[in-house]
């Protein structure tokens, strides 16, 4: 075999420099440490909180804690004397977050489609910055505006309208409509998560290849058909992602919910009446809580953490399923 | 006058022209007959396109005969794609683009008031440079257009017919549920042709449909085009001289007209003629220079 080897000019072979070869593994180690520190931090938080909360779980049982409806706080420093059923708070959190999502997601998709596909340039820019600005407004401001304006001028009147329709016969929508309620909390959450979901939708819609849209237009699709049949389906995983981010924020939002939900200890059956939520309970009671009550609040915190995690996992499963069904490379 | 308004209404409402089915049947009964070069299908009259203040093509006039292949050739940037997109009003989607002049399709100006561009595009299909199947199954790709039109019955037959027409059926009949993106580039382009055919257009515009394909896939598409010309009017943009010579009946040569004063490069039509004439005996020296590779 006499294949002539061509040497690079200057006689350098293919081995590369020693320095580069050393730098590569070093860099990898640094990145690995950075990445694992996140996992460590997360683990430390869960373990630490769970240990503190353990006596409450031990007394009520995990199932009993999650489904119990009686929450009466004891004053002990060393043992669990009260009874701790977290269901009213879990229910409140899930209910208001769900309503918020139901309101915010379609609206966000609509706003994003409008900005990307329909709005002329002179509307697009101000609209984009307005939405982005809303995303940066602190919770306290939303809480105030909700408290002093929206719930009085908008949500309660609208709620009253709903309660006055035949729908009001259903206990869930029945009056009287109070100012502080699940309804008010859900509405402020919807407003608060709207900007982030809109921003994400806008970004994923912009990713849809022009080729695909043009192909549909060239077959005689209308703008509406291109939006509903090409852009939205193409962006499904992004929309789910944005929704989950919004849901995460809704589940965890504390201040605005604490101010608007009314914080009553018993679960009412109507959305238009006050209730309580996990974050609101913690915020409203932790300051002068006795040690055992603190443990119970930590148990709520742990529960909230696992709910958030479950939401995340479900979202990933949905996205993975859809990608499998839709994506390219079905042969693999 | 009456006739015109009736036609315009027809484009608005999406009913096929009354005469169309008969006409098509007649064509199908006589396969292999010479394409009727004299029957004008689309007539482009004084068409200019501007992007903002920039004139991309100016004053183009020519006729596209029915059931023939018309090739548009010319140097890059001379406005071939732009002109092609005026024929099915795809330029309407480009912000800032304005089209003047008239494009007459079956005797009706598609830029007339009241004409719905969506309806125009259902009659005049388009195949793009880069194969662009939807990230859906092969079946759903082909069924997409018919479904838009509200068709639910006999979809299977229509999908099979369209895929057969695009010479793809035998390769994909056992994997219709697989993603269109899992096909090879040439197959993807034929899928795009099948998809365009499925809405039953009578004109198909192709913008460099083979430029992303290897020579064998290119030949298959060319054969397909020649075969399709018995049923469809085809307008193809190509950079490949041999391709234009091989497949087309007519060739239109465009070039860039430099306006030194205004620093503008505007596309203009130099000439259009039978492909043989253009390639062997062009009347304009610029055409000959371009074809023989002596272009500036
Ligand atoms: N969407 C657009 N906005 C602004 N200018 C455009 C747009 N599309 C095309 N142009 C301009 O119009 C002119 C003609 O472009 P066009 O794409 O029609 O040329 P072409 O002949 O198809 O070129 P090629 O052979 O490279 O595809 C070019 O100068 C181009 O820059
Ligand atoms: Mg082009």
Q: What is the pLDDT of residue B28?
A: 41
| CB burial readout B156-184, b (16+ within 10 A) else e | eebbbbbbebbbbbebbeeebebbbbbbe
Instruction: Decide: A131 and A112 in contact? Cβ < 8 Å.
Output: no
Report the distance separating Cα A228 and Cα A221, nearest Å. 10
Is residue B154 one of the residues assigned to a domain?
yes
Judge whether residue A11 has pLDDT over 90.
Answer: no
Lowest mean pLDDT among A132-141, A258-267, B23-32, B142-151: B23-32
Q: Is the pLDDT of residue A295 over 70?
A: yes
Distance of alpha carbon A275 from alpha carbon A262, whole angstroms: 6
Q: The domain A83-326 belongs to what CATH superfamily?
A: MetI-like (1.10.3720.10)
**Smallest CA–CA separation between B190 and chain A, in Å?**
14
For residue A2, the model assigns a pLDDT of 47
Integer Cα distance of B28 and B231 in angstroms: 7
Per the rule left: phi > 0, alpha: psi between -120 and 50, beta: everything else, A131 is alpha
Q: What pLDDT, on a 0 to 100 scale, did the predictor assign at position A332?
A: 25
- pLDDT, position A289: 86
From A101-110, A112-121, B19-28, B142-151, the region with the lowest mean pLDDT: B19-28
Residue B117 lies in a domain: yes
Please tell me if residue B135 touches chain A, with a CB cutoff of 8 Å.
Answer: yes
What pLDDT score does A247 carry?
93
The token pair at A13 is 């072979």
pLDDT for the residue B56: 93
For ligand 1, atom 16: residue with the closest CA: B79
Phi-psi region of B267 (alpha: psi -120 to 50; beta: other; left: phi over 0): beta
Structural domain count, chain B: 1
Contacts of B139 in chain A (CB under 8 A): none
Q: At what angle do helices A291-326 and A18-60 cross, to 10 degrees?
A: 120
SS3 call for B68: coil
- Does A59 have pLDDT greater than 60? yes
Which residues in chain A are contacts of B196 at CB distance < 8 A?
218-219
Nearest residue (CA) to ligand 1, atom 14: B79
Bridge pairing between strands A71-72 and B233-237: unpaired
For B54, the token pair is 């920039």
Q: Taking the mean position of all CA atoms in its chain, how far away is CA A246? A: 3
Predicted pLDDT at B5 = 41
- Residue nearest ligand 1's atom 6 by CA: B51
- Can you tell me the mean pLDDT for A264-282? 88
Q: What is the pTM of this model?
A: 0.81
User: B74-130 pLDDT, tens per residue?
Assistant: 999 999 999 999 999 999 998 889 999 999 999 899 999 999 999 999 999 999 999
Q: Which two tokens stand for residue B276?
A: 């043989």
Retrieve residue A167's tokens.
């729908």
As a whole-number percent, the residues of chain B with pLDDT over 70 amount to 86
pLDDT at B33: 41
Structural domain containing residue B106: 6-30+40-291
pLDDT of residue B172: 92
Confidence tier at A318 by pLDDT (50, 70, 90): confident
Lowest mean pLDDT across A38-42, A152-156, A291-295, A312-316? A312-316
B208 dihedral zone (left: phi>0; alpha: psi -120 to 50; beta)? left
Contact between B110 and B157 (Cβ < 8 Å): no
Q: Does residue B109 sit in helix, strand or coil?
A: strand
Domain of B24: which CATH number? 3.40.50.300
Q: State mean pLDDT over B237-245.
A: 91
User: A288 versus B60: which is more confidently predicted?
Assistant: B60
Structure confidence by residue, pLDDT tens digits, B276-288: 999 988 888 899 8
Question: From the CA of B149, how far away is ligand 1's center (Å)?
Answer: 31
- Residue A270 tokens, joined: 């109507």
In this structure, are residues B207 and B84 in contact, taking their beta carbons and an 8 Å threshold?
Answer: yes
Which residues does chain B have within 8 Å of residue A220's beta carbon, measured at their own beta carbons?
118-122, 145, 148-149, 199
Q: What is the C-alpha separation between B257 and B42, in angstroms, rounded?
A: 25
Give the residue among B73, B93, B82 at the shortest CA–CA distance from B246.
B73
Q: What is the mean pLDDT of chain A?
A: 88
For residue A176, the 8-state DSSP code is P
**Mean pLDDT value across chain B:** 85
Whether the pLDDT of residue B64 is over 80: the answer is yes
**What's the rounded mean pLDDT across residues A86-104?**
95
pLDDT at A327: 52
Of the candidates B111, B121, B159, the residue with the CA atom closest to the CA atom of residue B14? B121
Residue B269 domain-assigned (yes or no): yes
**Is residue B1 one of the residues assigned to a domain?**
no
Residue whose C-alpha is closest to residue B99's, from B28, B159, B51: B51
Neighbouring residues of A138: CB distance < 8 A, sequence distance ≥ 6: none
Q: Is residue B91 part of a domain?
A: yes
Q: CB-based contact (8 Å) between A224 and chain B?
A: no
Give the Cα separation of A293 and B4 in Å (integer): 83
- Cα-based distances in Å from B225 to A215, A216, B127, B205: 19, 21, 12, 11
Contact assessment for residue A231 and residue A213, using Cβ atoms and an 8 Å cutoff:
yes
> Is any ligand 1 atom within 6 A of the Cβ of residue B137?
no
| Residue ranges of domains in chain A | 83-326
For residue A15, is pLDDT > 80? no
Q: Is B127 in the pocket of ligand 1 (CB under 6 A)?
A: no
């Amino acid at each position: 075999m006499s294949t002539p080897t061509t040497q690079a000019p200057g006689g350098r072979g293919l081995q590369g420099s020693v320095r580069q070869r050393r730098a590569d593994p070093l860099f990898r180690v640094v990145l690995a440490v950075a990445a694992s520190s996140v996992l460590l931090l997360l683990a430390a938080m869960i373990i630490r909180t769970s240990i503190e909360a353990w006596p409450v779980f031990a007394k009520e049982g995990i199932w009993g804690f999650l489904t119990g409806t009686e929450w009466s706080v004891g004053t002990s420093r060393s043992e669990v004397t009260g009874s701790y059923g977290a269901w009213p708070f879990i229910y409140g959190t899930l209910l208001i977050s769900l309503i918020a999502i139901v309101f915010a997601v379609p609206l966000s998709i609509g706003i994003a489609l409008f900005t990307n596909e329909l709005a002329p340039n002179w509307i697009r820019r101000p609209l984009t910055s307005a939405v982005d600005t809303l995303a940066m407004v602190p919770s306290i401001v939303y809480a105030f505006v909700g408290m002093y304006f929206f719930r009085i001028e908008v949500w309660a009147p609208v709620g009253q309208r709903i309660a006055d329709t035949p729908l009001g016969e259903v206990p869930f929508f029945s009056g009287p409509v109070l100012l502080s309620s699940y309804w008010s909390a859900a509405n402020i959450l919807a407003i608060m998560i709207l900007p982030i979901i809109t921003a994400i939708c806008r970004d994923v819609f912009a990713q849809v290849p022009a080729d695909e849209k043009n192909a549909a237009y060239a077959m005689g699709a209308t703008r509406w058909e291109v939006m509903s049949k090409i852009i939205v389906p193409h962006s499904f995983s992004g929309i789910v992602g944005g929704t989950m981010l919004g849901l995460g924020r809704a589940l965890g939002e504390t201040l605005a919910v604490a101010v608007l939900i009314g914080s009553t200890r018993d679960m009412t059956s109507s959305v238009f009446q006050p209730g309580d939520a996990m974050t609101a309970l913690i915020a409203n009671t932790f300051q002068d809580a006795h040690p055992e009550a603190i443990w119970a609040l930590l148990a709520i915190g742990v529960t909230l953490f696992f709910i958030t995690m479950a939401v995340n996992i479900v979202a990933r499963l949905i996205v993975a399923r859809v990608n499998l069904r839709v994506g390219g490379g079905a042969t693999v | 006058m009456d006739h015109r308004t009736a036609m315009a209404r027809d484009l608005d409402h999406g009913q096929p022209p009354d005469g169309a089915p008969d006409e098509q049947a007649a064509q199908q009964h006589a396969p292999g007959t010479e394409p009727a070069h004299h029957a004008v299908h689309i007539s482009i009259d004084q068409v200019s396109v501007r992007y903002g203040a920039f004139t991309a093509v100016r004053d183009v006039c020519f006729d596209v005969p029915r059931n023939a292949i018309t090739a548009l050739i010319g140097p890059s940037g001379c406005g071939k794609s732009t002109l092609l997109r005026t024929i099915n009003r795809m330029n309407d989607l480009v912000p800032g683009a304005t089209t003047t002049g008239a494009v007459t399709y079956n005797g009706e100006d598609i830029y007339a008031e009241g004409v719905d561009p969506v309806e125009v595009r259902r009659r005049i299909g388009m195949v793009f440079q880069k194969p662009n199947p939807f990230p859906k199954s092969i079946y759903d790709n082909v069924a997409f257009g018919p479904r838009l039109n509200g068709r639910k019955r006999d979809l299977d037959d229509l999908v099979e017919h369209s895929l057969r027409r695009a010479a793809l059926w035998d390769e994909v009949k056992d994997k219709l549920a697989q993603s269109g993106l899992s096909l090879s580039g040439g197959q993807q382009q034929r899928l795009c042709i099948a998809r365009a055919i499925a809405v039953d257009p009578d004109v198909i515009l192709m913008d460099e449909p083979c430029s992303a394909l290897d020579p064998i896939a290119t030949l298959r598409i060319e054969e397909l085009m020649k075969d399709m010309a018995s049923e469809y009017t085809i307008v193809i943009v190509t950079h490949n001289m041999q391709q234009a010579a091989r497949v087309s009946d007519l060739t239109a040569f465009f070039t860039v007209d430099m306006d030194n004063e205004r620093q503008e490069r505007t596309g203009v039509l130099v000439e259009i003629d039978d492909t043989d004439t253009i390639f062997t005996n062009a009347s304009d020296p610029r055409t000959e220079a371009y074809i023989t590779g002596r272009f500036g």
